[in-house]
Amino acid sequence: MTILKSEKIVALMIGRGGSSLPGKNVIPVLGVPLLLWAAAAARRSEYVGRYYISSDDDDIISTAAQAGYIEIRRPPELSTATAQSSDAVRHALKAIEADGPVDIVVLQHANVGTITNEIIDQCIAELVADETLSAVVPAHEAQEYHPYRGRRLQDGVLVPFVDGVQDISANRQELPMCLFFDHSIWALRASAINDPNGQPPWPCMGQRIKPFITKGCLDVHDMEDVQKTERWIIEHAVPYPSDVLM
């Protein structure tokens, strides 16, 4: 199957200014602002033809511009700590479509540098190959956090988080596979982003989501995460973003 680089396949990076780790999206990672590692992966994609950054923060916007990302200024109501990412994606899609038709949106999270162009392209290829899919999303297995093991508080004591399930094995390997989404990139079919019945809590993924199995990604929330990201980049021999900067 051949997919040509197309302006109908766009990268959309999202990241807001407020954070418990000030400036985390542009914090130096091996001497390079964090978000540029993600931007470089998308710039090297064989398929992505347009690039956008949705943010309320001038530093994030100007840094992404170094990799050719076009500004979509996020309004205040979508820039709070409680704002929903799907709402930001839907807001950005309007601006993207104003520049031209779009079939696939590769959503990128500005605080994740553990991504390669190969992962992006494989997710795009799988989405193109199956027109029934609304999204292809990297996901990893985490049986230790299986919902059958979870508990919630009720009247001051712990009760099963998932009701009505009997004969739950204490052995992780005997539980049904439990997958959690990575927050590196999501390949989204543009026509499904506004689906009112999309799966919560990220309805912009639509209803038919195929996992792209990974070992997980590293969301940067503190300096330890920065160090882990640096080690991952070195171990995977990811080239520096200098080749894609404007």
Which of 91, 182, 193 lies closest to 134, judged by CA? 193
pLDDT, tens only, 171-210: 989 999 999 999 999 999 999 999 999 999 999 999 999 9
Which of 7, 62, 40, 218 lies closest to 118, judged by CA? 40
Residue 245's pLDDT band, with cuts at 50, 70 and 90, is confident
Element (H, E) at 223: helix 223-235
* Cα(160)–Cα(234) distance, integer angstroms: 41
Determine contact, residues 192/134, Cβ cutoff 8 Å. Answer: yes
Task: Write b or e for each residue in 190-208: b if 16 or more Cβ atoms lie within 10 A of its Cβ, otherwise e.
Answer: bebbebeebeeebbbbbeb
Q: Based on the number of CB atoms within 10 Å of its own CB, is 218 exposed (0-12), middle (13-18) or buried (19 or more)? A: buried
Residue 2's pLDDT band, with cuts at 50, 70 and 90, is low
The pTM for the full model equals: 0.94
Determine contact, residues 41/120, Cβ cutoff 8 Å. Answer: yes
pLDDT at residue 16, rounded to an integer: 93
Residue 19's pLDDT band, with cuts at 50, 70 and 90, is confident
Give me the residue spans of the domains in the chain: 6-138+178-244, 143-177
6-138+178-244 maps to which CATH number? 3.90.550.10
The SS3 of residue 235 is: helix
Cis omega before residue 75 (within 30°)?
no
Chain CA centroid to CA 164, Å: 33
pLDDT, tens only, 69-92: 999 999 999 999 899 999 999 999
Pairing of strands 209-213, 157-160: unpaired
